[in-house]
Structure 1
């Protein structure tokens, strides 16, 4: 395929560093961008530096180097400051931290190599430790300044990136359970992926444990963590991510890790997983799995409608979508009593319960001469706000302007 096909960008960003990967359908796997051609220099410090007395900006390792030689002034807490929407003083000038993050992203996108052949951005998938409103507001601001449509932005946490990455590998690597150990800071975090193969689609669960600070006797302590995490469960593969695994300190622990299972170590798992997430959620490939993460909706919400004399369910909200992004809307013609029946279902259950919303004080009209707009907006991962508006029926029945609000949540 040519460059006209859109690319899926996965950006794993934290206060310390950023990793950027690119994926297109003609690629075997995502490619991770290195700041040095021919080398695997994937981890880019999330910093900027301004050359003294000039409007020139440096980023990443070059920013740190220029600040050390006193050629430029470093902004080293850039991401955290931008999340708080704070003002930053650099070389006697005032800047909005969010604007500096726009400069940082522009620098990222200008890295030579795979970025030059990227073409249009189909989806920009940003991976963070935890998705929240501050992250959403910051990233929406950045993409608006970069003239990227908001529909092309996807936010995802690292656990979900691991889920998409692990299940995008060869099937023998997830035949049994899969483990991730993240040693990015001083804390060690484990994440175990399990599949329920009796459900369709297969329900995926992630068991995440923070094992706390590990600074002394690392080999011995990590060996204990491995033993506790694995127990008697069979594991097909293990992934190690984070700077903490650098060096050759793993001896006893590595021997336990490698016993009967494949072990992989790297720093671009999350950014590659973000690429796979964007590609998969766009429906570009079959995906026989479902995972409901911390930010994902825990309910399906639908109504029963009659269309072309066929009774069917119309889905307003799908479980598994991020509650920050999900919205549902439809228009219906009221048939019968002034009430609407909603069906609420957990994704792991075949049973649904119903809630009937009575439209009190609805103007009396002939049957089937009332058109209603139904809007569904999640307010958390387990609750959805419903707004129903009376649209009337053209000149026959003018709109009353009435609306009804209700919150539906899983029991």
Structure 2
């Protein structure tokens, strides 16, 4: 019987990191390179060997390029918009095809270590939402031969929260600080928890310090970098009571912190690691076991939807049926239901705040459909978002079997929510 793995993947421009859920330890475990068990950052490169007619990825590709005759393929992220085909061993590839191949090979390089292994769930975390990248990744399930819902895409912010809130509770009794110092510069996230209500509310405050602190600015001047970071850290940790601090990103990979360490370690625990996002994605992949995360907390960030979208059944209790529930990133918030009209040609849409006193309604008249007997018009109602506050409700006529074929009519109702609890259509 095949062993099924929950996998988290941190997909960045130059490197990929992965982790899998260890059932015995009951926590994610980082996946090392196949040819170097001390290295966990896998280069995003491919190598095709003419000698073996075999594709290599990551560290194996870096190694094979010096020992075998072949073709190296790098810059995959930078060339995703490049429509010029690349010919390798007599076959033409697009950069998008090579990019998806690279991801599959990264996963396969782990699965091959077991006699029989498959992907149960793969969650890919990226620094932030990118529409083109998400569209490309939406076809990954076909390449990997898994069900569509076996692959999910999220952000560093979301996977960072999943990691933090799966640590021991004493680390997040109060606010939590996360400093991310990557190639683009320093970003700071403060995670606050409002506990006097149910569900408890997680809010994230973000400060962009990349113009003040970036790797290109300092070069080898780690003394100035330490002083600048100590100043920023001192200011931020005084803004709230911080239980713990997490440091991640290649900027923290070298031992340059001296003054800043003294600032951060005053009465709080500090953790440094490059695997926070991949392990957070892995916790999310496990999903069901950690569903209490979403039941206990409502997450309010710049990318999350703050309201539910649904319909009224029109009964005596005015029952609300949600179609898409808020509390998640807008690009992962969607849903659909099928309804049968009962003595009406209208659908009442409801927009309902998750933790705020807000509700808006509107009625959509289903026009242009031939008159049919009662309860013989079936509709598909779906919800999609364009950003955290804007989206559309799409209503499709499904007809009613062979007796009353569909008209293929589609009704689209756009909506826009603003922070003063108003809704615009």
Q: Of 238, 242, 251, which residue of structure 1 is paired with 2:245? A: 238
Give the deviation of 1:297 after TM superposition: 3.0
C-alpha distance in structure 1 between counterparts of 2:112 and 2:240, whole Å: 40
Any runs of at least 4 consecutive aligned residues in structure 1 with deviations exceeding 6 A, and if so which? 394-398
1:289 aligns with 2:297: yes
Larger mean CA deviation between 82-91 and 292-301 belongs to 82-91
**Compared CA separation, residues 25 and 250, structure 1 to 2 (3 A):** same
1:46 partnered with 2:52: no
Distance 2:407 2:191 in 1: 52
Equivalent in the alignment of 1:316 = 323
Q: Any idea what SS the aligned residue of 1:81 has?
A: coil
- Asked whether the 8 Å contact 1:31–1:114 carries over to 2, the reply is no
CA 1:6/1:199 → structure 2, altered by over 3 Å: closer, same or farther?
Answer: farther
1:219-273 deviation digits (Å, cap 9, x = unpaired): 0011011022222411111111122112321110011111111111111110000
Gaps of 5+ in 1: none
Offset at residue 28 of structure 1 (A): 2.2
CA distance in 2, matches of 1:97, 1:394: 44
Does structure 1 retain, via aligned residues, the 8 Å contact 2:161–2:280?
A: yes
> Once superposed, what is the RMSD of the aligned Cα atoms?
3.2
Aligned length: 407
Equivalence for 2:202: 204
Judged with a 3 Å threshold, the aligned counterparts in structure 2 of structure 1 residues 92 and 369 are, in CA distance, closer, same or farther, namely closer
Displacement after TM superposition at 1:278 (Å)? 2.2
Instruction: Kindly indicate whether residue 307 of structure 2 is the aligned counterpart of residue 299 of structure 1.
Output: yes
**Deviation digits for residues 1-43 of structure 1, max 9, x if unmatched?**
xx76642210001111110001155542101111158944111
Check the 8 A contact 1:177/1:194 in 2, yes or no.
Answer: yes
> Deviation digits for residues 65-96 of structure 1, max 9, x if unmatched?
44456855432212332465653356887432
Aligned to 1:316, the other structure's residue is in SS state strand
Normalization by structure 1: what TM-score? Answer: 0.86
Judged with a 3 Å threshold, the aligned counterparts in structure 2 of structure 1 residues 5 and 298 are, in CA distance, closer, same or farther, namely: farther
2: CA distance, partners of 1:114 / 1:51 = 19
Paired residues of 1:6 and 1:24 also in contact (CA < 8 A) = no
Q: Which residue of 1 aligns with 2:126?
A: 128
| Alpha-carbon distance, 1:371 to partner | 4.0
Whether the 8 Å CA contact 2:338–2:379 is kept in 1: the answer is yes
Q: Say if 2:248 and 2:272, in contact at 8 Å, map to a contact too.
A: yes
> Which runs of 5 or more residues in structure 2 are unaligned?
418-422
Write out aligned runs for 1:10-409 (5 A): 10-23=8-21, 25-35=23-33, 39-51=37-49, 55-67=53-65, 71-82=69-80, 84=82, 87-88=85-86, 94-111=92-109, 116=114, 119-185=117-183, 187-212=185-210, 213-214=213-214, 215=218, 216=221, 217-280=224-287, 282=288, 284-287=290-293, 288-305=296-313, 311-335=318-342, 338-360=345-367, 370-391=377-398, 402-409=409-416
Mark the CA change 1:335 to 1:100 in structure 2 (over 3 Å): closer, same or farther: closer
Closer, same or farther in 2 for the Cα pair 1:6/1:94, shift >3 Å?
Answer: closer
